C-alpha cells in the first residue's frame, strides 16, 4: 500500500500509478484506467491477478493496435459491454477507444468530444460521455451518431432546467440506471446532477427504401421518425457527410429526413441507414436500404495542372489539388520538380534541391497518404510517359526530381511538395497530367 508504480502481478505485488476509474464486466474482471501511465489494466477478481490490457507505461500517443503496441493519452473513464469489450475515454486525444477481450484497440467515437472524462453505457447500447472540455453531456448511438443531450456547449455554470439549457461546471463522471436516468458528478459545483429522459427515443414511421439507379441519375432516400430534430445518414457504416464520394453531389447537409445525391456513381452504391436524433437521444439505425448503381460508359478525366511556388519549412509547402471526374479510374503523371528548373530556359536561381512528392486523399475525416516518391530514379517508364505528354522540363537521369505514375479512381486528391530532408527550401513546380 502507498507504493506507486506500473508493475503487473498478483494482489499487493501489482502497482498502479494514477488510478482514474474502474468498471466491471460481469465476468469476474475489473478494468482500471491508469491515467498518467497511459494504460488500461485488467484485474481478475477471484485471484487478484493484474495485467496490462492495452497501452505501454509512460508512452503516450494516439495509436490503434494490440496490447502494448496501442497508445493512449491520459485516459480517464471506462465502461464495458456484455461481450467483454472495454471502452475508454482517451481524454488527451478527445476520443473514445474500444478494447476487445484480446487487447485489440480501435478508435470508436470522436465527434463532439473535448476532454471526455466519465463514460457509461445503457442497456440499449448507447454511450454517454461527461464532456468536460465543453461542459456538456454527449450521447453516442451504437452506430456512432453523436448528439449533445444536456448542457450548453462551451458554457460553464450551475443551472438546472431543460436539457439543452442546463449548465454544468465540470462534469467528470457519469452513470445511467435501468430506467435511462443519468447521474453526473459535477466537479466544480460539488454536486451530483440528474438527467431524466423527457421523451422516448424516436421511432421510425417511414424507413428508406432500396433502389437500383442508373449512373449519373439522382438518388433520393426518405425517412421519418416522430420527435426527431435531425437525421444522420450512413453509407456502409460511414457518415455520408464525410464519406469520400467521387462525382456525387450531396445537395443538402445530410442531416435532414431526405438525403438527395445527384450524379450517383459506383461509389454511391451500398447499404444506406439513418439514425433519428432527438433531445432524448438517438434512435437505433433504420433497416438498411440497398442501393445499386448501373454504370454507363463515362471515362474519368482530369485536366493538366501546374503550379510553381517557393517551398519553405514546416507547413509552408506547395500543394496541387486535383479531381478525377467521371466513373472510371484514370492514369495520372504527377511531378515535383526542383533541380530540373535550374538549367536554361528556366534559370531558377534557387530551386528546391530535394523535393519529395506525396499524394493525399481525405477518407472518413482523415488525411491519408496514398503514394510518395523522393527522386524519380531515372525510371524509363516515367520518362516515356512524360515524353508522350510533352511534359517539360525533361528530367535528367539521376536528378533528385520526384515523379509518380499512378492510376486513381474518381475523387479529389492533393499532391504535396516538400523538402525530402525537412529543412531545405527553394522554388518547386508541381505538375499533374492525365494520360491518354
Query: Average pLDDT of 189-206?
Result: 83
Least confidently predicted of 215-219, 232-236, 278-282: 215-219
Flag whether pLDDT at 251 surpasses 90: no
The 10s digit of each residue's pLDDT in 35-73 is 999 999 999 999 999 999 999 998 999 999 999 999 999
pLDDT score at 435: 74
Peptide bond before 13: cis, by omega within 30 degrees of 0? no
Least confidently predicted of 150-154, 314-318, 385-389: 385-389
Determine what percent of the chain falls in helix, strand and coil, rounding each to the nearest 5: 10, 50, 45
| CB hemisphere CA count around 177 (13 angstroms) | 8
What dotted CATH number matches 305-434?
A: 2.60.120.380
Flag whether pLDDT at 217 surpasses 70: no
- Say if residues 405 and 387 touch (Cβ distance below 8 Å): no
What CATH number matches the domain at 203-294, 2.60.40.10, 1.20.1260.10, 3.40.50.300, 1.20.120.160? 2.60.40.10
pLDDT band at 306 (very low <50, low <70, confident <90, very high): confident
What dotted CATH number matches 9-195?
A: 2.120.10.30
The 10s digit of each residue's pLDDT in 328-350 is 667 788 999 999 999 999 999 99
Q: How far is CA 49 from the centre of its chain?
A: 35
pLDDT band at 288 (very low <50, low <70, confident <90, very high): very high
Residue with cell 427515443: 201
Q: What is the DSSP string of 164-202?
A: GG-BBS-EEEEEE-TTS-EEEEETTTTEEEEE---SPPP
Flag whether pLDDT at 302 surpasses 90: no
- Say if residues 197 and 149 touch (Cβ distance below 8 Å): no
pLDDT band at 253 (very low <50, low <70, confident <90, very high): very low
Structure-block grid coordinates of residue 255: 442531416
Flag whether pLDDT at 364 surpasses 80: no
pLDDT score at 39: 97
Could you tell me whether strands 411-419 and 318-324 are parallel, antiparallel, or unpaired per DSSP bridges? antiparallel
State the average pLDDT for the chain: 87
CA dihedral of residues 65, 69, 75, 81 (deg, nearest 10): 40
Residue 82 phi/psi, 5-degree rounding, is -60, -20
Could you tell me whether strands 211-214 and 289-294 are parallel, antiparallel, or unpaired per DSSP bridges? parallel
Query: Average pLDDT of 30-37?
Result: 95
* Claim: this prediction has a pTM higher than 0.85: no
Domain ranges of the chain: 9-195, 203-294, 305-434
Flag whether pLDDT at 121 surpasses 90: yes
pLDDT band at 109 (very low <50, low <70, confident <90, very high): very high
Amino acid at each position: 500500500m502507498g507504493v506507486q508504480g506500473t508493475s503487473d502481478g498478483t494482489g499487493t505485488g501489482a502497482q498502479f500509478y494514477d488510478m482514474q476509474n474502474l468498471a466491471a464486466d460481469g465476468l469476474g474482471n475489473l478494468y482500471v484506467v491508469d491515467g498518467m501511465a497511459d494504460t488500461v489494466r485488467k484485474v481478475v477478481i477471484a485471484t487478484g491477478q493484474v495485467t496490462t490490457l492495452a497501452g505501454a507505461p509512460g508512452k503516450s500517443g494516439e495509436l490503434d493496435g494490440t496490447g502494448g503496441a496501442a497508445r493512449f493519452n491520459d485516459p480517464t473513464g471506462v465502461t464495458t459491454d456484455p461481450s467483454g469489450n472495454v471502452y475508454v475515454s482517451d481524454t488527451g486525444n478527445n476520443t473514445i477507444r474500444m478494447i476487445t477481450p484480446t487487447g485489440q484497440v480501435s478508435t470508436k467515437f470522436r465527434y463532439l468530444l473535448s476532454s471526455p472524462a466519465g463514460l457509461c453505457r445503457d442497456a440499449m447500447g448507447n454511450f454517454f460521455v461527461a464532456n468536460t472540455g465543453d461542459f456538456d453531456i454527449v450521447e453516442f448511438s451504437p452506430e456512432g451518431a453523436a448528439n449533445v443531450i444536456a448542457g450548453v456547449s462551451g458554457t460553464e455554470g450551475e443551472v438546472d432546467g431543460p436539457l439543452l439549457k442546463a449548465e454544468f461546471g465540470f462534469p467528470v463522471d457519469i452513470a445511467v440506471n435501468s430506467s435511462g436516468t443519468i447521474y453526473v458528478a459535477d466537479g466544480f459545483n460539488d454536486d451530483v446532477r440528474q438527467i431524466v429522459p423527457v421523451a422516448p427515443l424516436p421511432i421510425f414511421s417511414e424507413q428508406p427504401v432500396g433502389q437500383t439507379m442508373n449512373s449519373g441519375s439522382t438518388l433520393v432516400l426518405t425517412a421519418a421518425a416522430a420527435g426527431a430534430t435531425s437525421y444522420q445518414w450512413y453509407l456502409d457504416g460511414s457518415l455520408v457527410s464525410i464519406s469520400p464520394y467521387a462525382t456525387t453531389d450531396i445537395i443538402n447537409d445530410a442531416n435532414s429526413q431526405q438525403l438527395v445525391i445527384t450524379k450517383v456513381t459506383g461509389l454511391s452504391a451500398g447499404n444506406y441507414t439513418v439514425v433519428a436524433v432527438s433531445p432524448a437521444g438517438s434512435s437505433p439505425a433504420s433497416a438498411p436500404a440497398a442501393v445499386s448503381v448501373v454504370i454507363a460508359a463515362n471515362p474519368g478525366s482530369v485536366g493538366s495542372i501546374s503550379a510553381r511556388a517557393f517551398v519553405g519549412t514546416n507547413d509552408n509547402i506547395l500543394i496541387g489539388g486535383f479531381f478525377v471526374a467521371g466513373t472510371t479510374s484514370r492514369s495520372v503523371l504527377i511531378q515535383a520538380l526542383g533541380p530540373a528548373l535550374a538549367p536554361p530556359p528556366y534559370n531558377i536561381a534557387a530551386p528546391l534541391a530535394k523535393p519529395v512528392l506525396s499524394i493525399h486523399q481525405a477518407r472518413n475525416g482523415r488525411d491519408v497518404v496514398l503514394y510518395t516518391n523522393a527522386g524519380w530514379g531515372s525510371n524509363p517508364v516515367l520518362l516515356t510517359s512524360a515524353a508522350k505528354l510533352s511534359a517539360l522540363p525533361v528530367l535528367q537521369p539521376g536528378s533528385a526530381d520526384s515523379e509518380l505514375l499512378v492510376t486513381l479512381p474518381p475523387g479529389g486528391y492533393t499532391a504535396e511538395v516538400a523538402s525530402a530532408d525537412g529543412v531545405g527550401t527553394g522554388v518547386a513546380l508541381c505538375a499533374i497530367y492525365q494520360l491518354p
